[in-house]
Amino acid sequence: MKLRIVAASQGLVWWRRGLDVARRQPLHFMGLLGLVVSTGILLAGLPVLGPLLVVAAMPLMWMGFMLATRRVVQQQRVTPGVLIEAVRPTDSPRQQFAQLGGAYVLATLAIMQLAHLLGPGADVLGQVIEQSKTASEVVSHPDVQRDLLWRVALSLPVSLMFWHTPALIFWMRLPVTKALFFSIVATWRNLGAFLVYGAAWLLSVALLVVVDRLVFAALPDVLSSLLAVSAGLWLFSAFYGSLYFTVVDCFESETAENLTPTNE
């Protein structure tokens, strides 16, 4: 396996290709994300273990969207089965995915603890929630925004560390530690491309917010909500679909054809 170094402008290519695959099969991609969100909400309702299971399943979800993107590239239909395809065969690396999920849970718990120490803290946030009359007052409060900022700032580098690992485990059969190591190195060596990639998606979300406030808000409530939810599902499914391109452009392998860059 070889590491590829790409230009910073490749981040825009990843962004564009993610939008393109979601455009080709929009209902399928939106349905995948809707299924993930619905399942996550159900699991999160379980006491204690529910939220941990949701976090542990995230790497498997990323892998599912990579497999979905691969199918679109190969002009195949996307089905819900891609979400568990990585652990369905008898020879699949189920144990490695379980270890990866556990490692991601530990990393997420560490992020939450750091955010608690560096941010305003749970007591302050609790007071804000009690004193606020509406949800908008909670979101707009400076302490809440500071807490969210810390969580996002701490989560991004951790997410970048883990994003490539499911593909390296599934397609290259690497152990978790090696997959994490190569993922970190690939991200660092191609940091410029990932910064451009992240900026493109942040601008896309900002544009969606503007459209929601200027266009959707002028429509009837039911139609406005439907369009806003649909647009959000499509955009975020496009983001997860784009993860595949960040993998195939950063790694080269003679033994795994799935890690061959596309020429679209």
- Residue range 203-238, pLDDT digits in tens: 998 898 888 778 776 777 777 778 888 888 999 999
**Phi-psi sector, 119: left (phi>0), alpha (psi -120 to 50), beta:** beta
Helix 165-172 and helix 142-163, axial crossing angle in degrees, nearest 10: 20
Query: What confidence tens digit (pLDDT) does each residue in 54-104 have?
Result: 999 999 999 999 999 999 999 999 999 999 999 987 778 999 999 999 999
CA distance 129 to 143: 11
Domain range summary for the chain, segments of one domain joined by +: 2-259
Q: Report which of 64, 56, 53, 58 is spatially closest to residue 31, judged by C-alpha positions.
A: 64
Confidence of residue 138 (pLDDT cuts 50, 70, 90): low
| Averaged pLDDT for residues 40-44 | 90
User: Is the pLDDT assigned to residue 130 strictly greater than 60?
Assistant: yes
pLDDT for position 118: 78
The answer to whether 70 and 147 have CB atoms below 8 angstroms apart is: no
Percent of residues, the chain, with pLDDT higher than 70: 85
pLDDT for position 136: 54
* 184-to-106, 161, 170, 178, 261 alpha-carbon distances in Å: 17, 5, 17, 10, 19
pLDDT for position 145: 67
CA distance 15 to 146: 28
Phi, psi of 84 (to 5 degrees): -120, 10
Contacts of range 121-124, beta carbons closer than 8 Å, 24 or more positions apart: none
Position with higher pLDDT, 103 vs 131? 103
Round the average pLDDT of the chain to a whole number and report it.
85
pLDDT for position 263: 47
Reading the block at residue 34, the tokens are 């809707």
H/E/C letters for each residue in the chain?
A: CEECCCCCCHHHHHHHHHHHHHHHCHHHHHHHHHHHHHHHHHHHCCCCHHHHHHHHCHHHHHHHHHHHHHHHHCCCCCCHHHHCHHHCCCCCCHHHHHHHHHHHHHHHHHHHHHHHHHCCCHHHHHHHHHHCCCHHHHHHCHHHHHHHHHHHHHHHHHHHHHHCHHHHHHHHCCCHHHHHHHHHHHHHHCHHHHHHHHHHHHHHHHHHHHHHHHCHHHCCHHHHHHHHHHHHHHHHHHHHHHHHHHHHHHEECCCCHHHCCCCC
